[in-house]
Chains A and B, each alone.
Chain A
């Protein structure tokens, strides 16, 4: 599967202009992840081809990080914070509420392809606990009503919401 010319050129330029290509690997992985929806084996192959790194080198890197997804995820990845501040404000209820509402288990994709729910280490939004992060946007001081409104809005505007690098 070929990459779109624009993306191919963008990555080639990043590689060519980098003093050390290694410092650009995560950015390149993010770009490919955004294009393919996850950092699939196909995406990994392109990363290897374009950077000259072996698939083993890239595999050992991408399996380390929380925000690189090796399996398909929904268009909106809901990172539910389970840091201790969110936990004491009933992160468990929030996590379960989202899974029940969307009809998915941990890491699964909803039937419409829109949502995946993942537990996540502290998001750095502890003063707004309980909190979650969706495609780079923080949501805090959540209640069931707020969660319902956020999900409804994402569903309604799914086609117009630009995905950020961390998806």
Chain B
């Protein structure tokens, strides 16, 4: 079994590790080392050399992002710690926060020390209200112990973390939209400037996913070579929380070496397909990534390997589909999500996603033609011209459907309709017959 890092403190009862227990397990040693013996630049350099890349989906090198904050940048400087994860298939941040909240708090504080930030905003989605309360409790414990607040651990570094509860929208995961949400504005993305120079309240702001930040204490404690050695592939970095859901025996969140092969995650760690189910495809990195083929199951799940295979790692959240699932219906479900969650700021997204949805619904109903398929392809390609990454993400599933499962789409055309029958037909994952807890 590979080494667990982020989830190494996971308790047998799955309850969160409290402050005292975290300290006994070596927690906050990295923060102590950093504020007492390292300069902020040394922390940034170490994280940069480790190759740590953002786990929120974009995969941008964390150390490089921190380096964008100029040394003479004004204060207050902010950290936006992102726990918005609203992408279907993705629940890793919830698992992480509930397992080891102080690891997350220490990670945020390490990032703050690196860029000499004054305040962090822990941005959390509304359906994670229990987690927000947990973090608030543990922040109090950290504050009382001198890990947050004025003169942390007796140093001249002062910093604190606030919790911001969102009221729910996927676009709030986008960094500039999230900043607008925190500032009480309608959370449309804003691409007019760089967050690291003009983010929250117009001040320098670094946005990181909590999974990214949770790696930092481990890197400082154990070193760059140790971190690089955790990965399964040469260009991978550390470990990764892979979420698996859908038609598998053991859906869940698995911490594995970055670059573990997609097929191994599904068939070894998540227990393979449910009885009676046969693998057709999966979306490998949340709903904004495209369907993969059976041949692509050997692809290592790291940023570079996935890109080389024409795929995207995204959040590393795998949703697995059975052979009897209609992928046109699945894509309709995903586009319905994106159409509803679009902020409506720009025309390609506001009009393009509902149009793609409408074309797919026609195809599913048997009212589509080959011309509609081509039209769908054209509109999906046009999503690249949207204002932010939301619309291209929505188009990924459509592109994957047309690229890898075009024959299945064609089976629907010219009055034939869906070859998979209606939704009433029992399938392996049917909620009426499946109860994993009882099995």
Contact = CB atoms under 8 A, between A and B. Distances in A.
Contact of A92 (B125, B340, B423, B437): B423
A70 B282 CA distance: 38
Categorize the interface residue count of chain B: 35 or more
A126 B243 contact: yes
Contacts of B130: 136-137
Contact of B330 (A21, A25, A79, A87): A87
A89 B431 contact: yes
Nearest to B184: A22
A123 B127 contact: yes
A25 B334 CA distance: 31
Contacts, number: 169
B126 A66 contact: yes
B299 interface: no
B321 to A, nearest CB: 7
Interface in A7-28: 20-27
Contacts of A127: 91, 243-245, 251-253
A121 B89 CA distance: 11
B89 A30 contact: no
B278 to A, nearest CB: 14
A149 to B, nearest CB: 13
Contacts of A164: 129
A84 B126 contact: no
Nearest to A25: B184
B319 A85 contact: yes
Interface size class of chain A, counting residues whose CB lies under 8 Å from the partner chain:
35 or more
A133 interface: yes
A84 B282 CA distance: 11
B165 interface: yes
Nearest to A130: B431
B338 to A, nearest CB: 9
Contacts of B166: 26, 65
Interface stretch (B12-20, B167-175, B220-228): B167-175
Contacts of A20: 183-184, 201
B340 to A, nearest CB: 7
Contacts of A142: 431
A144 interface: yes
A30 B90 CA distance: 26
A145 to B, nearest CB: 9
Nearest to A165: B129
B248 to A, nearest CB: 9
B394 to A, nearest CB: 13
Nearest to A66: B168
A93 interface: yes
Interface in B384-439: 423, 427, 429-432, 434-437
A65 B168 contact: yes
B337 interface: yes
Given A126-B245, A166-B127, A144 B432 contact: yes
Contacts of A21: 184
Interface stretch (B31-39, B80-88, B150-158, B233-241): B80-88
Contacts of A133: 127
Contacts of B181: 26
Nearest to A92: B423
Contacts of B427: 88
A120 B184 CA distance: 23
B165 A26 contact: yes
B423 A141 contact: no
A143 B437 CA distance: 11
Contact of A85 (B183, B186, B246, B340): B246
B88 A23 contact: no
Contacts of A92: 423
Interface string B180-214: 01111111000000000000010000000000000
A155 interface: no
Contact of A66 (B89, B167, B246, B251): B167
Nearest to B430: A90
Contacts of B169: 64-66
Contacts of B317: 126
Contact of A124 (B125, B184, B334, B337): B125
Contacts of A129: 245-246, 251, 429
Contacts of A94: 431
Contact of A22 (B129, B167, B185, B321): B185
A61 interface: yes
Given A29-B167, A129-B245, A133-B127, A88 B325 contact: yes
A56 to B, nearest CB: 11
B94 interface: yes
B14 to A, nearest CB: 13
20 contacts: A23-B184, A26-B184, A30-B165, A53-B184, A61-B184, A61-B185, A66-B169, A82-B333, A83-B88, A85-B319, A93-B431, A122-B88, A126-B88, A126-B89, A127-B251, A133-B127, A141-B437, A143-B431, A166-B126, A166-B129
For the complex of A and B, 5 pairs with smallest distance between CB atoms:
A22-B184, A65-B167, A83-B88, A66-B168, A126-B245
Given A79-B127, A121-B341, A166-B167, 13 more contacts: A26-B164, A30-B165, A64-B167, A66-B168, A67-B126, A84-B319, A84-B330, A88-B246, A121-B340, A126-B91, A127-B251, A136-B130, A141-B436
